[in-house]
Amino acid sequence: SLAQLASVIEFSMRIAIREKKDVVDDNVFEEAFESFNYGEEKKWDISELEKTAYHEAGHAFLCWHSGETPSYLTIVARGNFGGYMLHGDTEYRGTYTKAKLLDLIRTSLGGRASELVFFGEKDGLTTGASADLIRATDIARSIVCSYGMDSDVGLAVIGENELASGEMSREVRTAVNNILSEELNVAKNLLTDNKVAIEKIVEELLHKNHLTSTEIDRIFSAYSTKN
């Protein structure tokens, strides 16, 4: 709203004064916008920033690989998250194909997959993927229960009452886990085959803290095998 925009502008002027800048430039406006929406920046040590960069790079690559370039990528920690990726495809979709839903699952699992590929099972299993797993699980459950897209479970829509039964609940959980496991493996393989592209994005993120869609597409187009 105009009132919120006015608040961001006022906040940007306070930031400029605090940092003893003569002008409110694009960087100050961006900091004001991010702080207004998500909270003040948190300062993390370099090892945490590096792991966050690999996590977010995994999301970004799998999103880009599916045909959608992210509009924004950052490793600046704010609120309850360490960084985030904004999807580039913001237009409303009336319907989704199963292939597109699997793309979304794979993108959601990209952070966990990247951490596993670059840090191994011991150090790559972190709590940072919690929200990602919730989103991926919700999509997979809809594939199984609401959209009739799982050949093993069948076409019938499965309601909450049916999920309360032990047998059906176990069947759905198995089907959902199968989808998640398969897409995680696909994600890990893609990231393994494109380590150079991920390393380049991580390098840029650690240098700049954030990247635009143009920068993301330029790096992935130059260094990805896109297989």
Instruction: Enumerate the active-site residues.
Output: 56
Tokens of 191: 């990231």
Residue position matching structure tokens 């597409």: 217
Phi-psi region of 210 (alpha: psi -120 to 50; beta: other; left: phi over 0): beta
Q: Could you tell me how far CA 165 lies from the centroid of its own chain? A: 33
Largest CA-CA distance found in the chain, in angstroms, rounded = 67
User: Alpha carbon of 33 to those of 8, 106, 125, 168, 187: distances in Å?
Assistant: 6, 29, 32, 46, 32
- Between CA 104 and CA 135 the distance in angstroms is 9
